[in-house]
Structure formats: structure tokens, C-alpha cells
Structure 1
Amino acid sequence: MPSSTVQEVAPLSARSLHGAPASVVRPAYDRARLRNGIVHLGLGAFHRAHQACYTEAVIAQGDLRWGILGVSLRDARVSELLSAQDNLYSVTERHGDEARTRVVGALKGALFARKELGQVIAAIADPAVAIVTSTVTEKGYSQSPATADLDLDDADVRHDIAHPDSPRTTLGVLAAGIRRRPAGAPLTLVCCDNMAGNGDTLRKLLVQYADQFDTRLARRIETEIGCPNSMVDRIVPAATQASLAWAEARLVLRDEAAIVCEPFTQWVIEDRFAGPRPAWEDAGALLTSDVRPYQAMKLRLLNGTHSAIAYAGQLCGLETVADAMAHPLVGGFARRLMLEDLCATVAAPAGYDVRAYCHDLLKRFENPTLQHRTQQIAMDGTQKVPVRWLPALRESLAAGIERPQLERALAGWLHYLAAGRGDSGAPLVISDPGAAALAACMRETGNDTDAAKAALAHRPVFGTQPWPSAFADRLARHLCALRQGGMTALLAT
């Protein structure tokens, strides 16, 4: 008998896609007729599972003006993978045993800015492009967490001010493209990152940046460019070998850019566009006059609780959010934090059931099929904590209200940075450029009280406004409990 051989799975491409199972939804429109109408900065998994899917639905309804040119700013790998697959990739929505897979065709091209900067700037300058969206994380906008203004001490910002035609930063790339756009060509920038008033913040930072070298450009950005605020929501874990293999079994094709995410998705956008836009509302987006209540709810309830789960999970050796939610101490802590502390700090839109929203979030966190890693969520805490936790803490303390679970979450994060090891003694992988300075100022002290005070005095994270001494004392007690007995000692009380 002839020896059996393992059949090699074909890579995903426009040519091989016909071999996918009939259950896989695929583009039914002519991709050759698709035009570039959107440039997206930050070509990570979140954009491809979120805004690109909304745009895909609009294109599928026949509006071929809104093809997306995706731009990777820091990592060439994503753009290379997508280019090799004819810019196709799959998104599988999965909860338990239920799953639905589609191949997205909205992406017209994928560029790496450091290698193809001229093409990126030319695309933003193209009058046929009416929208630039961005998902570059909070730290990608060169904002100082302490002042909320442009970080003029950042080396890349200084480089871009001196060399505006060869920028390295998100702001620099945007400004360079806008500078070359013809007069009268309307453009809207849609920031989709987790910052309060993200559109207003982007405009402010972009104006501050342009003011350093071209005041005319700054005034143009201030008066002519649309910058609506938006709120996005979908849990999109980073790909793993297991998730890629699972997607391959669904597609019967190898998709190196495959995404497995939750079914839930939400996009709320202020209807303040400078020119034409896709009919995203036909794909399920909510267009509103004021996104701030939705944004505050999501930042504090979802993102705030996620961060707390991440640091508690890392310290307890829990790999995923679902693992943390199943843990008797960490899961209970997350529920109390959201339902008792954070829920009390948000002002809901009229008629919105915040408690129901909280319970829906907790159910999403418990989804065991997502494999959302705590290590991934824990990244860049010195940028996230000032947005997700500190405003709620300051408001509460000013009103004379203690938030015991949120204070424990803050202590857990500080211990995570300063100790650098989990409760088992295993070293932690800390990915946060601002972490070393904060950890160092805590380690230089001789006791928990001084460590708490040193942390709260660290202006790049905690700002210049003093924190109440009673709050610092409570934080010190939590740090003492963590040092002596880990998360078990902190959360058991």
C-alpha cells in the first residue's frame, strides 16, 4: 500500500477562497472596483474585527467608495501577512459552541509606515480619501498623562517638529498628510482609542503639534478637519497558535491574520463629519450628538474592570480573563469592583440600564472560548490607569467617598510594577515604557507608607494635584497586605 501523506493546507488568497466551506461568508462584490476612501492607522486585530467589519457591511450593500488602506506604524509583520493574502483575512465570532466565520475584503492595501512613508502620506493627502480612522492605543498620540497636553519631551515628537516631512509619530503622519491635501478637500479623523473625548483630544494634540512649526496648518486643523468623538467596544484577543489552528479548521485554508473574537460589537459615533462618510449606521453603528456618556461607561466599567482583572490575574498566575472570572477571589473582586464601585461613578444616557450593561459585561468576561490573555491587557498601564481609574477616584475622594475595590485595584497594579513577580515568585513580563520610573521611585523607599506616597507623587502618572493623606494611608495598608500575603491577603478581607 502507498504511504499516506499529510495534505498541505493552502494559504488564504483571492484565488484559494473559492475552496472555503459554504458556511464561510465571503465578499460578494467586485473587489477590483473597490476604491480607497478610508486610511486606517494601526492595522491591528481590533480594527480588523471592528471598524473594518462595519465598513465591510456598507460595501456589501453596494457602496464601493469605502475601501480601506491599512497602515501599520510600528510592526511590519501584519502588513506583510495581509499583503501576502491579497489583503483578505477571516473574522470568527465565537461564544461557546456557537461560531460564525466571514472573510473580510474591505482592505485595499496594507502598508508599513516606516518603509512606505511616502505612500502613507500621499494616501492621507488624496482628496478621494474622506476618512482617516485610528487605533494606535492611548500611548500612540504623544499625550502626557499628567498634563493631558502634547508631550514635548518625547524624542519622536521633537524629531517630527524638526523634520515634519519625515515623521515617526501618529500626529506627525497625520499632519504631513493634511499639509499636502488640496484646499477644500474635506477630511474627518475618527479616533477609535480609549480616551475620554478622543476626537476632541486628537484635535487638540494635533493642533498643539502643528503649532510648533506651521501655524497655518494648525488653524486649518482647528477649523476645517472633522474630529468626532467615538466609542468602540468588542473583545478581540491577540491571535495565538491555537486560535490560528482553530480558524484554519473552519476555513480549510491557512489564514495567518485570522481573528477569533466575541459576537458582541458596538460603535457609537458623534455625527460631526466634515464631508462624506460610510453609512455605518446601516451596519449597526449608533450615530449620536454626544458620545461622552457611552464613552465614560465603557472606559470605567469595561476597560477599568479589565485592567483590574489583568493585574490581579497576572499576580495570581491566571492566564486569561475567563480564568480570572472563574477564580473565587479574583472573580468576586471583579464583580464587586464593577457593580459596587465603578457603576456608582458613571452617568448613564437617558433610558439606559447601566446595571443590565454591567451584567452583560461580566457574562462576556466569562466567555471561555476567547482566551483573552491577562498579560496582553496589562500592557501600558501607565497610559491606561490615568484614564480608566484615576478620574473616578479623584471625583469620589473629592466627594468624601471611598472606593475600596478600586483602591485595592490601584494597589495591586503598583505592587505588580514594584515587585515584578507574581505571588508564586515567578517573574512577570511587564510591557510598559513608563513602568520602570514609577517602580523605581517605590523601590527606593523603606516602607509601604513611603512607597504609597512616592507613587502618588509620581507626576507623569498621578498628576500635580495632591492626593488626600487618608487615601495614601489606605493605599499603604493594601501594599503591606500584598507584600506580606499577595492577592489572597488583599482580596480575602
Structure 2
Amino acid sequence: MSLLSPESLAELPATVQRPAYERGALRSGIVHLGLGAFQRAHQALYTEAALADGDLRWGTVGVSLRGPGVPRTLAAQAGLYAVTERHADTAHTRVVGGLREALFAPAALERVLGALADPGVALVTTTVTEKGYSQHPASGELDVDDPDIRHDLAHPDAPRSTLGVLAAGLRRRPAGAPITVVCCDNMAANGRTLQRLLGQYAQQVDAGLARRIEHDIAFPNTMVDRIVPAATPASLDWAQARLGGLRDEAAIVCEPFTQWVIEDRFSSPRPAWEAGGALFTADVRPYQAMKLRLLNGTHSAIAYLGQLRGLQTVADAMADPLLGGFARALMTQDLLATVDVPAGYDARAYCRELIHRFENPALGHRTQQIAMDGTQKVPVRWLPALRESLARGVERPFLERALAAWLHYLGSGRDDAGAPLALSDPGAQALAQRLQAAGSAHEAVAAALEVSAVFGREPWAEAFMQRLAGHLAVLRRGGALALLAPGSRH
């Protein structure tokens, strides 16, 4: 079995698109932190379009902060990997060539910091998930109790955290070398949020760096959108067949839809990402809010209810009459009413497109994957919409049921059939313990909402808590099926 490599590119089927530029002439212009599947199937393809137009300044140095597996796999393939866009039986495969290096930061820290300091590098992009920014989920400020932050403040030249690595690299950059930091994770005002958190960290390490972060380095807000499931043995085998028998251990199968909205605010040169379809705008916030609530918010509800119902993929959940109907209603009745739609934008059409994407049977997007790290996701995907609605005296019946399902998911630890759930949320221990120790559903809700790290310090209305407790009681008696039954919705 041959491995995908520069030497084996000639063996690919004619239907597979190859890099349309000379890889040997690439220069390093981007450092990317967080070398997961999403970036490699999203931002990397927009950069491929710029490279294909002949601007070879924008090769990428990819950095994994948490695990050596992906860098090791990509290094064995000289940075090459394939992306297949698939919906049902329609598929298109391309090989991506813009990755010049793949580094594991703990094992190659000097090379990582050197890349960040390189004056030829004009951009840092990040996809490290919400929890990767050491942000306190309730206050929104730097979490100084994060173990990695504590370590980095004590050892700023040997950092572990995203903020620590970024700060250490920026400290080494020569004066006057412009750079822009582009955050691509699902956080409201993600660029400004990263700028604030990095500035708060830098204030404790290097006041001069903190001033540069505030005044000299641009942090544009962005909105990213593409469904990219984690690879599985089955998806890797399927991709191998697409590649004519060549094995690609870094192969990605994703949906055809992709969107990238970027605030047009840079302090350095950038690739022509618009060649790949990126939209540059003065204000990303309306697009970001729509995506965060309509797509990500609905996804989280599908994940927790799907896990409780024993449904393993989003497509399975959407095909379930009760859960599929609930997800549609949550999106179009509750969540859509909470967003400000940009002028001239057809939000109803956007919702229809989202539903179509969720129904894609080819992706195998696992509910368990989406359910990870809920204590980081729920405070940004659901709670602001609930707070705003309650302040106006408006109930959100589907969103409130989704929140109850999450609490039940954490508190019970089992699905409706009694099978144990694989919970993956390091921040959920305190919340889960409170839920498990409580007696009645109302006591459980009251105890849970007191966890300020998730739910904030502002008290919740008693009427809301009563409704939430009622939904939780239904879940405890009859599981998710009882909660989703038509009679329980009103």
C-alpha cells in the first residue's frame, strides 16, 4: 500500500484535483495554531485559491499544541492531504499542498516561536476551540486559574497555552514587522476577544508587548462555517478508494458548503482569500450571531438529545421524526427570533440550507463529537439568547427544553436505554456533581444555575427555573422521548 506523497501524486486518478502551483517555491507567510481537521478543510482551501493565482508567499506552518499525532502523520506525507467535499452520492476530491511544516509545539517549541517571530510571516490564524483561549466562561476574562496559564506566567519562555505560545513568539518579532492575528473559532467577537485575553496575559509578562497588542496588531473578527466531522477508519478507507488506492492518514471528508466572513481590518499583507469566496465586510457580528445561534446552537441541541436517544450522527437525529422536528422548530421559531439579520439577507433561506446540511447522510457527523465541552459552548450558544428573551418577558420553549436535556445528559450520564454516555467535558465535573447530588428536579436546577462559571452570577427568574425544572422532571421520568413528544412542547 502506497502513501500519499509528492512522489505518488502522479498515481492519483484524473478526477482528483492536484495543487495548481509549484510547492518548492512556497514561502512561509502564515503560522496556524491548532492543526485540526477544520482548518485543513476550511481556511487552508481559501489559501489554496490564493496560491493557485500565483501568490506563493502564503505557505503555512501548522502547529499542534495538544497532540503529536496529526503533525507526525502530515510530516510523513510531506504536508500533503486530501479533502473530499461530499453530499449523498456527489463528491469532489482535491489534494492540498500549502502546508510547508507540521509541528508539535511541546516537542519543537523553538521552531514554533521562531516561525512566529519570522518577519516573513505576516499572519497568525487560530482554531484551538473555545476552551483553548483560557477564557473564563462566565466572566469572559482571562482565567488565571487555568493550569497552563499559571505555568506560562511563571515560565513565559517555555509556554504551554495558546496565549503563552502566541505571546512568546510575538515578543521575539523584530520591531516594525507587521502581523495580523486571525481567530477562527466560534466565539462572539472572536478577534476582539482574543486581543483582550492576550493583552490581559501580556500585561503580566511584558508591558511593552501588551501595548503592541492593543495598538499595533490587528485582530479582525471572523465567522467560519463548514461541517467537518472527525476522521474515522471508515472515512479513511473511503478516501483511499477515492485516491485510487493511495493511503492518506490525514484525509478529510466534509460537506460542500463553506463560508468565511472576515472583518476587513489588517495590519499586514494578506492572501487574496476572496479568490476562494471569502467575504470581507466592515461588521462580522450579524453573520457571526446567526451562525453561532442557528447552526451551532441547533447542533448542540441535536447532540445532547441525540446522545440521550442513542442516535449516533446528526443525519440520524434529523431523520428521527421527533428530534428532527424539534431541531427545525428550535432553529426557526426560537433561535431565529433572537438574531439581528443583516439587511437584504434571507435568513429563512439560510435556515433551509442549514437543515439540508444537517440531513447530509454522507458526513457521519457524530453527536458525541459535537457534545464535547458543553460548559464552554452552552454559555455562548444558548445562554445569551435565553437571557435576552427573558429580559423581554419572552419564553423560548424549545431552547429551554434543550437546556434541560443538557442538564439531564450531565446529571444522568446514561441514555434513554440505560447505556452509559461517554462525557467529554473537563469543565463539567462541578455541575454534574451538583445535578447528581440533588433530590428533586427543582433542587437540581437551582443547584446547577448556581455554578457561576457556566451560568454567570446574575440570578435567573423563578418562573424560568420552574419551567426548566418541569422539563427536567419529564426527562427523569420518561427520557428524551417524553420531552420530545408533541404534548410536552406547549
TM score, norm. by length of structure 1: 0.98
Q: 1:4 aligns to what?
A: none
Where does the alignment leave 5 or more consecutive residues of structure 2 unmatched? none
The answer to which of 318-327 and 28-37 deviates more is: 28-37
1:103 aligns with 2:95: yes
Q: 2:364 aligns to what?
A: 371
Question: How far 1:217 moved relative to its partner?
Answer: 1.0
Could you say what secondary structure the match of 2:31 adopts?
A: strand
Q: 2:282 aligns to what?
A: 289
Question: How far 1:491 moved relative to its partner?
Answer: 1.1
Q: 1:315 aligns to what?
A: 308
Q: 1:326 aligns to what?
A: 319
Cα offsets for 1:131-186 (capped at 9, x unmatched): 00000000000000010000011111011011110000000000001100011111
Give, in whole Å, the separation in 2 of the partners of 1:128 and 1:218: 22
Cα offsets for 1:311-344 (capped at 9, x unmatched): 0000000000000000011101100000100000
Cα offsets for 1:17-53 (capped at 9, x unmatched): 1100011000131111100000000000000000001
Could you say what secondary structure the match of 1:186 adopts?
A: coil
Could you say what secondary structure the match of 1:427 adopts?
A: coil
Contact 2:410 2:435 in 1 (8 A): no
Give, in whole Å, the separation in 1 of the partners of 2:146 and 2:290: 31
Give, in whole Å, the separation in 2 of the partners of 1:213 and 1:304: 36
Out of 191, 195, 199, which is 1:207 matched to?
Answer: 199
The number of equivalent residue pairs is 485
Question: How far 1:438 moved relative to its partner?
Answer: 0.4
What is the root-mean-square deviation in Å for CA atoms of aligned residues? 0.6
Give matches, 1:339-350, under 5 Å: 339-350=332-343
Q: 2:483 aligns to what?
A: 490
One-letter amino acid of the counterpart of residue 50, structure 1: H
Give matches, 1:379-390, under 5 Å: 379-390=372-383
Could you say what secondary structure the match of 1:349 adopts?
A: coil
List, as ranges, runs of 4+ consecutive aligned residues in structure 1 with deviation greater than 6 Å: none
Q: 1:455 aligns to what?
A: 448
Could you say what secondary structure the match of 1:434 adopts?
A: helix
TM score, norm. by length of structure 2: 0.98
Q: 2:43 aligns to what?
A: 51
1:170 aligns with 2:162: yes
Where does the alignment leave 5 or more consecutive residues of structure 1 unmatched? 1-8
Give, in whole Å, the separation in 1 of the partners of 2:20 and 2:262: 27
1:237 aligns with 2:266: no
Give matches, 1:88-167, under 5 Å: 88-167=80-159
Q: 1:412 aligns to what?
A: 405
1:30 aligns with 2:22: yes
Cα offsets for 1:462-481 (capped at 9, x unmatched): 00010001000001001100
Give, in whole Å, the separation in 2 of the partners of 1:325 and 1:283: 30
Q: 1:256 aligns to what?
A: 249
Give, in whole Å, the separation in 2 of the partners of 1:468 and 1:295: 28
One-letter amino acid of the counterpart of residue 300, structure 1: R
Give the percent of matched residue pairs that are identical in Structure 1 and Structure 2.
Answer: 71
Q: 2:434 aligns to what?
A: 441
Contact 2:2 2:247 in 1 (8 A): yes
Contact 2:404 2:472 in 1 (8 A): yes
Question: How far 1:213 moved relative to its partner?
Answer: 2.0
Give, in whole Å, the separation in 2 of the partners of 1:420 and 1:29: 51
Contact 2:79 2:99 in 1 (8 A): yes
Could you say what secondary structure the match of 1:331 adopts?
A: helix
Could you say what secondary structure the match of 1:260 adopts?
A: strand
Give, in whole Å, the separation in 1 of the partners of 2:20 and 2:331: 42
Could you say what secondary structure the match of 2:271 adopts?
A: coil
